[in-house]
Chain A
């Protein structure tokens, strides 16, 4: 098995707020991330696809195709957006790194037809990321 990783970046704003919490609870749980006007990050997304190289092309999947999938599904949807208000898949969820990475997984998995989506890792900052894989797969 060979693992291929493609990286993209997008910039977006968000805020953390649970309407079921009181103002004090929101402040205590979410701290600065509860600022009502939001704040932003430069996100880095790493998408790893696992598969055997096709003997005819030597490729697990065509990187051009993966690049187009990421552009269409992720960049167009999330880049320079306010995640809370402009990404319908995140509606009703707190747009934490964990929730965004799950949404990204669910957007990408059905689109990958050569090889299998193995891991999605989303960096919110260089020191904070979340990642997603199928249960039982090896995250390392």
Chain B
């Protein structure tokens, strides 16, 4: 019966970071028009929320898909520590090349977490503010 069911574990994390939306592919005027206030040269910050879901078999000995302590330590190491109280543009190498919109942050978080060894990463949701959320589940394979 349990194989007919898919069970996922969801966890929410937080980090605070700054970013500036500015594309080298656009002129100064285009950047100002496309990104508006987000193009302000010194950047600005958000309290981000990262929600992830991982799926897998429930270990009958522990009742768990993955031990939360392992999951939390992995996310802390891969995402929270490198992103929290950082400038995404300056401090996260991936965003030297691509604009740190929250769409791209969401994909970067997915890339960093998809190697979690103890369960399958299903879904990443990043909330930039309580009104803006972005979700990514990897590409269809």
Chain A interface (Cβ < 8 Å from any Cβ of B): 16, 18, 20-21, 29-31, 93-99, 101-102, 105-106, 121, 126-137, 139-140
Interface bracket on B: 20 to 34
Q: Closest residue of chain B to A128, judged by CB?
A: B11
Most buried by A among B2, B9, B65, B137: B9
Instruction: Give the number of A-B contacts (CB < 8 Å).
Output: 81
Q: Is A130 touching B9 in the complex (CB atoms < 8 A)?
A: yes
Known A20-B61, A93-B63, A140-B137; judge A127-B11 contact (CB<8 A). yes
Q: Is B9 touching A135 in the complex (CB atoms < 8 A)?
A: no
Contact indicator per residue, chain B 55-95, by CB within 8 Å of chain A (1) or not (0): 00010111111011100000000000000000000000000
Q: Is A94 touching B63 in the complex (CB atoms < 8 A)?
A: yes
* Residue from A20, A97, A132 within 8 A of B5 (CB atoms): A132
Q: Is A126 touching B6 in the complex (CB atoms < 8 A)?
A: no
A107→B5 CA distance, assembly (Å): 13
The A interface is mostly helix, strand or loop, or mixed, namely mixed
Q: Is A126 touching B12 in the complex (CB atoms < 8 A)?
A: yes
Q: Closest residue of chain A to B14, judged by CB?
A: A127
B23 to chain A, nearest CB (A): 29
Chain B interface (Cβ < 8 Å from any Cβ of A): 1-13, 53, 58, 60-65, 67-69, 122-123, 135, 137
A105→B6 CA distance, assembly (Å): 11
Chain B positions within 8 Å of A133 at CB level: 5-6
26 A–B contacts, CB within 8 A, in A order: A21-B61, A29-B67, A93-B63, A96-B58, A96-B62, A96-B63, A98-B9, A98-B65, A102-B5, A102-B58, A121-B10, A126-B12, A127-B12, A127-B13, A128-B10, A128-B11, A128-B68, A129-B9, A130-B9, A131-B7, A134-B6, A135-B3, A135-B6, A139-B8, A139-B122, A140-B135
Most buried by A among B12, B62, B69: B62
B35 to chain A, nearest CB (A): 28
A99→B9 CA distance, assembly (Å): 11
Chain A positions within 8 Å of B6 at CB level: 132-137, 139
Chain A positions within 8 Å of B5 at CB level: 102, 105, 132-135
A20→B108 CA distance, assembly (Å): 41
Q: Closest residue of chain A to B65, judged by CB?
A: A98
A137→B13 CA distance, assembly (Å): 26
B123 to chain A, nearest CB (A): 7
* Residue from A21, A98, A137, A140 within 8 A of B58 (CB atoms): A98
